[in-house]
A and B are shown apart, each in its own frame.
Chain A
Amino acid sequence: MAFINRQTRIAKRRETGAGKLGKSKLMIPGEFDYRRPATKSEALEMLAEGGDSARPIAGGHSLIPMMKLRMAAPALLIDIRRLQELRGIKIGGDICIGTAVTQHELIASEELAQACPIIRETALLIADPQIRYLGTLGGNVGNGDPGNDMPGLMQCLDATYILENSSGVREVKARDFYQGAYFTQLEAGEIISGIRFKRPACGHGFSYQKLKRKVGDYAMAAAAVIVEISDDTVKAASIGLTNLADTPLYASEAADALVGKKLDANTVSAAVRAVEAIVTPAGDSRCPADYRIKMAGVMVRRALETAASRADTSKAKGIFGWLKS
């Protein structure tokens, strides 16, 4: 996403001595060359030739702020924003979304809102309207920024990322993709070309709850929840967490604490405790770590209650288990 935490920025300036440049120079990125390929295969060839110093750019709302701060200094930018091959939203038994689809387009798609409404709910909490016109799904999931919202959601949905380079295609689960802050399984020369996940069952309950100080800020804590409920019993559940560790977190123990139970206060509290046990947030200028841990629990509680109230138990009968692979 667009914003670099101010403390990170100050720390980085101290570390690199960049503060000596003076404020205005920090806003100008280093020199680079720019190319706009006409097809995906051309883009992948250019990336292969460019090696470590080449980066793809789509919306640029993660990359450009990093380049202004000189925390990223690619020698070559390959613009994939307008490549039609990377832009579609396909909805069937699986939902496939191209990497260059913007947050604005995710929000605008009525078909997607019908099939998987938590995507729109989450996208509406990302940054602000202007940034959502350009910021893309691929950029949000691919940069490995722990503050981004889509990675936690993709872990909740058990999404698969399709990674391509000039010599082939491979697939990596969202739950396996993130290794540390800004470290992912994406290799030089590779792009995430698309994202695929199973369409949630009809009548599923969902909620994305995000605590933030203001529009445009990162989450202090956020949780994505999907549940399937029938006969008063949770048949399946999935919980993804945002900005509560140096990677997104899939809260498998918390989900396990729900399945087969009635979603009452005790069950919710058990899930909240399981979430509090796995989060390892850092304190920052927004709040101390302890507060974030508590707020992780609060977000999960709210998300579970909201998801339960939205679950249509009559429709959900008989289509369970998509969350379990």
Chain B
Amino acid sequence: MAKKLIELIVNGEAIEVAVNPRDLLVHTLREDLKLTGVHIGCETSHCAACTVDLDGCSVKSCTMFTVQAAGSEIKTVEGMAAPDGTLHPLQEGFREMHGLQCGYCTPGMIMRAYRLLQENPRPTEEEIRWGISGNICRCTGYQNIVKAIQYASDKLRAGEGAK
């Protein structure tokens, strides 16, 4: 099948990439664009390690063909820190609150939490747990991940107040 040339905006940068229609977004991001922060866990839309932000939605990039995303704006964990390297409050929260656990799910958790906090800047613990329910699988109690998201919520709102 002939490759299709498509345009995407990835982490603020407009790019063109040639893809086969059957290429999954996660493979394009990792293999063509070298954004390996997007993790492949299960490839069956269960685990959410591949979560990216796409046009204001958290999506599992293993369950979308890249051609479907043509024209879309995508943010991956690589686009979270400021250009000078200052961590996003969510990244800082995961570090400060020891939210990483083994770290494999972390990029997906951060990208999901990013959208959750856009939609609900002051979530309760229960709202956080429901909000990340697609990412949760079997690792302990997620206490520190919840605390990391609360940390980011507080810091982001404090930043808003200062403006």
Contacts and interface: CB of A to CB of B under 8 A. Distances in A.
Interface residues of B, number: 29
Contacts, number: 88
B123 interface: no
Interface string B121-139: 0000000001111101000
A65 B45 contact: yes
Contact of A134 (B1, B64, B70, B130): B64
Interface of B: 1, 4, 20-22, 43-46, 48, 51, 57-60, 63-65, 67-68, 70, 112, 116, 130-134, 136
B21 A130 contact: no
B58 A60 contact: no
A64 B4 contact: no
A133 B116 CA distance: 12
Given A128-B48, A128-B133, A133-B58, A27 B43 contact: yes
B1 A3 contact: no
A129 B22 contact: no
A81 B131 CA distance: 24
Given A32-B1, A65-B44, A134-B57, 4 more contacts: A28-B22, A31-B21, A34-B65, A127-B134
A61 B45 contact: yes
B134 A130 contact: yes
A215 interface: yes
Interface string A125-158: 0011111011000000000000000000000000
Nearest to B57: A133
A68 interface: yes
Q: Which of A2, A3, A77, A216 has the most CB of B within 10 A?
A: A216
Interface in A29-61: 29-34, 36, 57, 60-61
A64 B65 contact: yes
A3 B48 CA distance: 13
A79 B67 CA distance: 10
Interface string A64-100: 1100100000000101010000000000000000000
